[in-house]
């Protein structure tokens, strides 16, 4: 007698578990709380910059400037060389960012795709410099710049940010993942030079990482205070962080002028972030999802 075995029905695979409604609500509540915590200082500074000096720290605090005033901005722009500080900071940060993106991408490509004697030793020395705080190398760096007679304000302000170790490390790691060796070999077979290979093949593939590096480099240079405090002596050559710090001391704790200057100083950083946010997000999430 033959026994017929009926195969067990195959259950369809689940497309994915849905997050419980309570968990979703808690997640959104947590994210909204973080958003408020991070945005509140900026919103308070924006509101307080339109208040009279006596109303900034009034109790209970007023969320909105009622009545609002533009005297803080008029006093800042008419009585202080704010636009000079603004232009110097923006130009220096832009130059530093452009040079850093070029040098870091070249160095990262070389470390990732070329074999040469001492490559690992050089990379380890460069990478280990990340453990050294910037304050430790400020004095030796200043002596080197002074000995080379390169203390011109624009040049001296740009020097520390043109080849950051973190930027080289990030570009090297991204190049190893995003640039296949087969593509480089095919370009060489077609007669492409090494620099043409970098410009035409490698750079387009590095756009997400370059966007992330650009935002990071711009903010580092734009917000720097210690280095400008050492190399700049003339008030007309101050950067924005140094100018705001001097403004705070020179005006006897005039929080109205300081808040107005801080709000205007935040504009370039926000513009850079919004212009490069797509590349920044792609660069930060690259490699997080397996293909």
* pLDDT tens-digit series, residues 153-178: 778 888 888 889 999 998 998 898 88
How open is the CA angle 140-123-284, to the nearest 5 degrees?
100
The contacts found for 212-215 with CB under 8 angstroms, 24 or more apart, are 212/170, 212/276, 212/279, 212/280, 212/283, 212/284, 213/100, 213/101, 213/104, 213/105, 213/167, 213/170, 213/171, 213/283, 214/97, 214/101, 214/272, 214/276, 214/279, 215/272, 215/273, 215/276, 215/280
Residues 88 and 59 in one domain: no
Domain span holding position 156: 83-285
How would residue 18 be classed by pLDDT, with cut points 50, 70 and 90? low
Instruction: Give domain status of residue 1, yes or no.
Output: no
Instruction: Give domain status of residue 8, yes or no.
Output: no
Highest mean pLDDT among 38-52, 63-77, 98-112: 98-112
Residues 41 and 104 in one domain: no
The residue with greater pLDDT, 17 or 266, is 266
Residues 105 and 200 in one domain: yes
- Percent of the chain exceeding pLDDT 70 equals 87
Residues 170 and 57 in one domain: no
Task: Out of 36, 69, 102, pick the residue that ends a domain.
Answer: 69
Residues 116 and 247 in one domain: yes
The whole-number pLDDT of residue 249 equals 67
Residues 56 and 193 in one domain: no
Residues 48 and 191 in one domain: no
* pLDDT tens-digit series, residues 199-213: 888 888 888 888 888
Instruction: Give domain status of residue 15, yes or no.
Output: no
Instruction: Give domain status of residue 291, yes or no.
Output: no
Instruction: Give domain status of residue 154, yes or no.
Output: yes
Instruction: Give domain status of residue 242, yes or no.
Output: yes
The DSSP line for the chain is -PPPPPPPPPPPPPS-PPPPHHHHHHHHHHHHHHHHHHHHHHHHHHHHTTS-GGGTT-SSPPSS-SS--SHHHHHHHHHS-HHHHHHHHHHHHHHHHHHHHHHHHHHHHHHHH---TTHHHHHHHHHHGGGS-HHHHHHHHHHHHHHTT---HHHHHHGGGSS-HHHHHHHHHHHHHHS-HHHHHHHHHTT--HHHHIIIIIHHHTHHHHHHHHHHHHHHHHT--HHHHHH--SGGG--HHHHHHHHHHHTTS-HHHHHHHHHHHHHHHHHHHHHSHHHHHHHHHTTSS--
Contacts for 73 with CB less than 8 Å, ≥ 6 apart: 49, 260, 264
Contact 253, 144 (CB under 8 A): no
How would residue 289 be classed by pLDDT, with cut points 50, 70 and 90? very low
Contact 156, 231 (CB under 8 A): yes
Instruction: Give domain status of residue 165, yes or no.
Output: yes
Q: Give the number of domains in the chain.
A: 2
pLDDT over 50 at 287, yes or no: no
* pLDDT tens-digit series, residues 90-125: 999 999 999 999 999 999 999 998 888 888 899 999
Task: Out of 69, 92, 127, pick the residue that ends a domain.
Answer: 69
pTM here is 0.79
């Amino acid at each position: 007698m033959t026994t017929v075995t009926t195969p067990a029905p195959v259950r369809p695979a689940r497309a994915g578990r849905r997050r419980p409604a309570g968990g979703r609500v808690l997640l959104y509540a947590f994210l909204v709380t973080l958003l408020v915590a991070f945005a509140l200082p900026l919103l308070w500074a924006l509101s307080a910059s339109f208040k009279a000096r006596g109303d900034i720290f009034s109790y209970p605090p007023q969320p909105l400037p009622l009545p609002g005033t533009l005297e803080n901005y008029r006093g800042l722009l008419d009585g202080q060389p704010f636009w000079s500080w603004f232009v110097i900071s923006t130009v220096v940060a832009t130059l530093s960012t452009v040079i850093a993106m070029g040098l870091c991408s070249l160095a990262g490509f070389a470390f990732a795709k070329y074999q040469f004697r001492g490559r690992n030793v050089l990379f380890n020395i460069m990478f280990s410099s990340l453990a050294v705080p910037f304050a430790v190398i400020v004095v030796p760096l200043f002596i080197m710049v002074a000995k080379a007679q390169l203390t011109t304000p624009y040049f001296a302000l740009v020097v520390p940010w043109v080849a950051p170790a973190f930027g080289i490390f990030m570009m090297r790691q991204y190049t190893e993942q995003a640039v296949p060796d087969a593509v480089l070999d095919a370009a060489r077979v077609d007669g492409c030079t090494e620099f043409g290979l970098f410009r035409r093949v490698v750079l387009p593939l590095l756009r997400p990482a370059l966007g992330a590096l650009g935002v990071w480099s711009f903010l580092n240079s734009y917000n720097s205070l210690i280095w400008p405090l050492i190399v700049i002596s003339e008030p007309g050559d101050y950067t924005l962080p140094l100018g705001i710090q001097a403004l705070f001391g020179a005006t006897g704790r005039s929080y109205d002028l300081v808040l107005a200057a801080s709000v205007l100083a935040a504009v370039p950083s926000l513009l850079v972030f919004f212009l490069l946010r797509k590349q920044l997000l792609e660069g930060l999430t690259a490699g997080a999802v397996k293909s």
